[in-house]
Amino acid sequence: MFRIALIGAGRIGRIHARNAALHPALELAAVVDPVEASAQALAGEWGAAVRTLEEVIADPGIAGVVVASSTDTHLDYSMQAIAAGKAVFCEKPIDQDLQRARSAAPTLEGARLLLAFNRRFDPNFRALKAKLDEGGIGTIESLQITSNDPAPPPPSYVAVSGGLFKDMAIHDFDMARWLLGEEPVEVYATGSCLVDPEIGRLGDVDTARTLLRTASGRLCVIANSRRSGYGYDQRIEAYASAGMVCADNVRESTVQVFTEGGSSADRLQNFFLDRYAQAYRAEMEHFADMLATGAAPAVGYADGVAALALAEAAARSMASGEVVRL
């Protein structure tokens, strides 16, 4: 059993706590959160202790740390834990500032740091990636990634999120890099505030389209909206030289109804914690494997920096109306 600590007892922290506590090779030993009631409630649910960050970092019996705290703490907490010899599983993004993230390279480059781009662990998207790697549909040429939330988050969240590109689309930038097989070198993005005027007042957009181009000419179009109106919309289409492979939305059930008036299917899974429940479990399984075997993280520090670079480039492109070259 590997003893791990969780930093952050919020919504995503509770998911990671459950997955860690139920994993046969892991023991959720400690919970850290500045809100005492949140820490006590989550620790009590899984038989963990409430401890301070300093105690966790100094404890040689803690083998791994899950960083699920506020985004502005991700980088600092990860660096402290890595410096103390612990493996780290950190939520995305690695930071909200690209230069600051890059400055951590001496500590984090090559470290046992798993960055939580959970969509790489989704069984549907992994199957799509496997089809591309098999080569049965030829060489990939372009991607269409659609990622629409069911409804916009509250303005209080938007105000501290880092913006649509760093908070939401950053998942899609990571998926684009993973599936295209080469780095984008040009970014063009445009956006509007069409869903909630308060989001615009806070200086962000709620609807965006981003075009990525690689050195060989491969293209990726990323469509983002804070509101779909019909559920959590998560689709990928990959076009190759000999065909196309796609991963469609996941529904609440496979039930369909057929009548003279037409046909209907069940609604889309409407919340990201439901849609990606398997992915979150697979992430924790991979983290346990890192601890047990010394395996390298499937998604590491360099991936986090690269996705953040694309997010910042998209924001610059939207502000200037011009293509940003990387």
Based on the number of CB atoms within 10 Å of its own CB, is 10 exposed (0-12), middle (13-18) or buried (19 or more)? middle
pLDDT at residue number 57: 98
Regions of the chain where pLDDT drops below 70: none
CB contact at 8 A, 140 and 285? no
Q: Which pLDDT value is given to residue 170?
A: 97
Cα separation, 12 vs 21, whole angstroms: 14
Q: Which amino acid is at 92?
A: K
φ, ψ of residue 31 to 5 degrees: the values are: -125, 135
Q: Tell me what the pLDDT averaged over the chain comes to.
A: 97
- 195 in helix, strand or coil? coil
Determine the Cα–Cα distance for residues 67 and 111; give it in Å rounded to an integer.
15
Contacts of 94 (CB under 8 A, 6+ apart): 74, 75, 78, 101, 104, 108, 115, 301, 304, 305, 308
Q: Residues 147, 286: contact at Cβ < 8 Å?
A: no
For residue 108, what is the enclosing H or E element? helix 105-108
Tell me the C-alpha distance between 20 and 2, whole Å: 10
Q: Tell me the C-alpha distance between 190 and 145, whole Å.
A: 15
Q: What is the pLDDT of residue 270?
A: 85
Cβ neighbours of residue 34 closer than 8 Å, sequence gap 6 or more: none
Measured at the alpha carbon of residue 290, what is the angle toward residues 286 and 291, in degrees to the nearest 5?
A: 120
* 309 neighbors 20 (Cβ within 8 angstroms): no
- pLDDT tens across 65-81, in order? 999 999 999 999 999 99
The pLDDT of residue 126: 98
Rg (CA), the chain: 20
> Strand 113-116's sheet: what is its strand order?
49-50, 26-32, 2-7, 64-67, 87-91, 113-116
DSSP 271-283: SHHHHTHHHHHHH
Question: What's the pLDDT at 271?
Answer: 85
pTM for the full model? 0.95
- What's the confidence (pLDDT) of residue 273? 86
pLDDT of residue 239: 98
